[in-house]
Structure 1
Amino acid sequence: MILNRKNLVIRLRLIRDDTENFSKYIIISYLIFLFSFSVYMICIVDTIWYLKLLYIIFACILPISIINYALDFMTKKTIKRIPDLLEEFQHNLNNTIKIETAIKKTSEKFTGHLKKPFQILYYNMSKNPIEALDNFKVMFNDRNIDSFSELLKTYIVYGGNLEKLNQKISDLINKIREENMFKTKTKQKFIKYKIGAVIMILGTIYMKKFMLVIVPDIGQAQNVMDSAKYILVIIFYIIYFFVIDPISEF
């Protein structure tokens, strides 16, 4: 996602105003880091080639995971308000009977980052409604907003009964509220596993340093494979840390 600048800009709109410049900064910083790390591993670090390759692959993946995780974390507050947004839209749709007008009135009801997605959606609807709704989905990166956008796209393209559309939106709102209650309980259980992963990462790093202090000769006796074992353990727990959230979504 980080190298897809268009999607990165769209997602950043939920949390920042200077999306164009900030997206450039993120991508350039990532490429500079990756280039510098690759040069360092290839030219300076003295180890076997496949271990160097493993480090470089890991350096490619980890920043992307961290940035995606940070974006998801920062947009959580907005995403939790999705039921309120949809209820306001539904209320305005009942009063105006026009999707574009309902979107405009919804944007006027909220402030800050809750207001912005509907403002952008309203502005883009006059150009290309289908593309506008697709970008709206990317901005939230949430499957419930995906469902909401698909409902509107179907209504715009094929027409239909406004009453049935309202019922489907109501069903979606109820589903989201139930999911949010379940997620809150689940995340409280999974947080201890994340804490455990962080403890294991730090424990593995400091255990190696501690062993070198207690038994200095161990540093001379260690070969490349011994060092690789420590690295692999750390990699495992870092991946585990980032995998816990997707698992908790099921």
Structure 2
Amino acid sequence: MELYFHNRDTFPEFRRIFYNLGKRPPRRAPPVSCKANSFRSSNNKNFLIFVRVGGIDLSGSEKRPTGLAFLEGKRCLTATVFTDDEILEQCSRRKVSLIAIDAPLNFPKEGNLRLCDRILISRGLRVFPPTFGGMRKLTERGIRISSLLRSSGFNVIEVHPRTSGIVIFGTPDREKWLMRLKKAGFKISPSSDHEIDAILSALTAYLHLRGFTETVSGDGAIVVPGEASQRILLQTRCYSRKRQ
């Protein structure tokens, strides 16, 4: 009968005891993993399960930088691009399960604010109307990019990284977000605020796959982290697999 031992901290001591008894020591338990482009839930929700997700901090123009982030376990790859084609190329290369976009993905049916925007504002969160000034261009591009991604087979959600940061870390300060994430073992090295916001978008996508988010609906839908999100992201170990 094969024995598996899960506690990595006491595993060496446990093996020594078996050797002293002249018996075969147990094997280390194999890591829990997922396919590169799929997600499998775990009964133990205190573990960060390997899954690839993407985050996009979209700009309103192809002349301005757009931040990208791709989360694989606790390793996050970031990039800055400009054009729609570059966004599609990067997402296609990563084979992500879900992409979270920091941009409105639809206009309100009437007025300047969607119901989902009003709900977040009523909670004291800062959300800009999709129809005002530069936000109109951002919304138009968000609609276009989300349509292109969906037609390419990707699942897409709308997120708001500032709200995600406030819910997870209790502050809108990006530097504190990075400090907490690095302390929790995340391998991140963003080069701009755009990439930081993309990281928070990707983290929200991960939480959404795990079922630790709230979808604020009404004339659109914005996905925000739930109450348990800080525990899941900052106080968990990560089961990952070797890169293919």
Say which one has the larger Rg: 1
Q: Greater helix percent: which structure?
A: 1
TM-score, with normalisation over the residues of structure 1? 0.24
Q: Greater strand percent: which structure?
A: 2
Ranked by relative contact order (alpha carbons within 8 Å, sequence separation 6 or more), the top structure is 2
TM-score, with normalisation over the residues of structure 2? 0.25
